[in-house]
Amino acid sequence: MEKFKLVFTGSVAAGKTTAIQAISEVDTISTEVRPSEESILRQKPTTTIAMDYGQVTLEGNEKLHLYGTPGQRRFDFMCSILCEGALGLIILINNSHEDVFTELDYYLNLNAAFLSKNPAVIGVTHYDEVNTPSIKAYQQYLHERGDAWPVLRADARDINSVAVLIETLMFAMEYAVD
C-alpha cells in the first residue's frame, strides 16, 4: 500500500484534474472522456471517469501520491476505494455552482466514514469569477454542521495555491486528528 497518499474530490469542473496537474512533477495520468451527461458536457468537454494520478517526490525518494476522483455521481463508488490508506481528503467546490452548500454537504456525507478518522480541507475554486458565497459563509455553514475543516479559496491552476491546500491538510493531520 502506498504510504503517502492524498485524494482530491469534488464535483465536475471543480478543478481536481487541474490541481493534480499543477502540482505533479510527472505528467498526470488522466482518464478523461467526453461526458455522457448533457449537463456536464455544457460545463466542460471532457470529464474524469476513473481517476487522476500525479506525484511529488519527498525526502529519501519517497513519493506523495495524489489521486483525483471522478466528478460524475455514478462513479462515486471510486471515492471509498481511492481513500483507503489516504492521509486526508481535499474537497474542491466550484463557487460558480448554483448550489455550493448542497455540493459541500454531499461530499462531506459521502466521505463521512473516512472523515471520522482523517482530516479534510475545503478548497473553493473559481472564486475570482464568483465571490459569493464568501469564504466566511462556507465557514459559517461548516460551523452549523459541526465540522471544523479549514476552508480556503484556491486556484487549481496555481501550484502555490494547491501546495497551500496540501499543507493545510497536513497541519490538520498534525493538530486535529487523533
Q: Enumerate binding residues for other proteins (CB under 8 A).
A: 4, 23, 25, 56-59, 62, 64, 87, 135-136, 139-140, 143, 148, 150-154, 159-161, 163-164, 166-168, 170-176, 178
- H or E segment and range at residue 169: helix 159-176
Number of neighbours of residue 172 by Cβ within 10 angstroms:
18
Angstrom distance (rounded) from CA 130 to CA 113: 31
Q: Closest separation between CB of residue 143 and other proteins, Å?
A: 7
HSE-CB of 116 using CA atoms within 13 angstroms:
4
Q: Closest separation between CB of residue 127 and other proteins, Å?
A: 9
Q: Closest separation between CB of residue 133 and other proteins, Å?
A: 13
Q: Closest separation between CB of residue 148 and other proteins, Å?
A: 6
CB nearer to other proteins: give 38 or 146.
146
Q: Closest separation between CB of residue 67 and other proteins, Å?
A: 15
DSSP-assigned letters across all residues of 62-128: -EEEEEE--SSGGGTHHHHHHHTT-SEEEEEEETTSTTHHHHHHHHHHHTHHHHTTS-EEEEEESTT
CB nearer to other proteins: give 5 or 16.
5
CB nearer to other proteins: give 54 or 71.
54
Q: How far is CA 170 from CA 108, 161, 163, in A?
A: 18, 14, 11
CB nearer to other proteins: give 27 or 175.
175
CB nearer to other proteins: give 58 or 81.
58
Radius of gyration of the chain (CA): 15
| 43 neighbors 94 (Cβ within 8 angstroms) | no
